[in-house]
Structure 1
Amino acid sequence: MALRTVAGSMARRQPIFANLCLQSFVISASNHRRQSVTYPISSTGFRFSIRAIQETTTNPITPMIGDNTKQSQASPTWKVKMLYDGDCPLCMREVNMLKERNKNYNAINFVDISSDDYSPEDNLGLDYETAMGKIHAIMSDGTIVTNVEAFRKLYEAVGLGWIYAITKYEPVATMADAVYGVWAKYRLQVTGSSI
């Protein structure tokens, strides 16, 4: 739209310039690229450099068939997978907070182990009873982390790593794991859930 206005105003002053502009450029609503074009506009040798938007054609990206497709499907887009108990109301408060934060990061894949759809095969063989015993997180490289380290990785993934940063150092790491161990042992009684 702006190019047509400029070309129109220049047409009153330089008919040759207007004809070249109107013949050479098409305004397109999509798929633009910038190009610098220089046109002679008079016999005196003056040249004007203009920037124009020229229509381009792009092909949609299609997935490659073969080994590359398998590799791209095998590479997860998330950094960490959180296995959580969807029947635990206290757990769900934390999960909901992490889900809200994850909207900006898209770094956590949430898996409800209490769901009928839960599959140990999709989660490195972690069966329901094992996953219910304590928190498990699976890193995108296949590493399984548990206890407070799992929380630390989850919080780091959504920009809240500072909350659990102190738990990397002794003696805080040992104390934090001991406190979490007590919570994990009695969590089901406290929340009224059962395996």
Structure 2
Amino acid sequence: MSDRSDDDILTVWYDGGCPLCLREIALMRRLDRANHIHFVDVADPAQPCPLDRQLLLDRFHARKGTVIYDGAAAFAAMWRAIPVLRPLGELARLPPILWGLEVAYRRFLRVRPILQRWVR
């Protein structure tokens, strides 16, 4: 029996139809040796969604306990769940750092369709 509760597991929703997302999630899975993250492919219609499916496809989301993170905050939460990335995730708790990461993430979202075509 596990000592971990559901509140200890971070749920991460990702776009399984996005080649960039698949590569990143594959890396995160390799780094998450302690299985602190439950990855959910939102592109799979059989998967339940706590929010609008399109919203989850358009923007990265994660949940720990009752807290839902999105955008850069979701990435930071994922990093904190992986020991080797935890320092980066802790750094992202600082408002100016998180703000800068969010600005970069929003810019990335604008070019994501172009990058996806290149990767396919």
Q: TM-score range by the shorter chain?
A: 0.7 to 0.9
CA distance in 2, matches of 1:91, 1:168: 23
CA distance in 2, matches of 1:152, 1:118: 24
Aligned length: 113
Q: What TM-score, normalized by structure 2, do the two folds share?
A: 0.81
User: Which structure 2 residues correspond to residues 73-152 of structure 1 after superposition, within 5 A?
Assistant: 75-76=5-6, 79-102=9-32, 104-120=33-49, 124=50, 126-139=51-64, 141-152=65-76
Alignment correspondent of 1:176:
101
TM superposition shift of 1:190: 2.9
More helix by share: 2
RMSD: 2.1
Contact 1:78 1:107 in 2 (8 A): yes
SS of residue in 1 equivalent to 2:12: strand
TM superposition shift of 1:191: 1.0
CA distance in 1, matches of 2:73, 2:105: 11
Q: Deviations over 1:30-76 (max 9, x none)?
A: xxxxxxxxxxxxxxxxxxxxxxxxxxxxxxx9xxxxxxxxxxxxx52
TM superposition shift of 1:164: 3.5
1:129–1:186: structure 2 CA closer, same or farther, 3 Å change rule? farther
Contact 1:135 1:150 in 2 (8 A): yes
Contact 2:78 2:89 in 1 (8 A): no
Contact 1:84 1:91 in 2 (8 A): yes
**Residue type of the alignment partner of 2:25:** V
Larger Cα-atom Rg: 1
> Does 2:77 correspond to 1:153?
yes
- For structure 1, list consecutive stretches of 5 or more residues without a partner in the other structure: 1-60, 62-74
CA distance in 2, matches of 1:93, 1:175: 23
**Residue type of the alignment partner of 1:135:** F
SS of residue in 1 equivalent to 2:38: strand
| Percentage of identical aligned residues | 24
Higher relative contact order (CA 8 A, sep 6+): 2
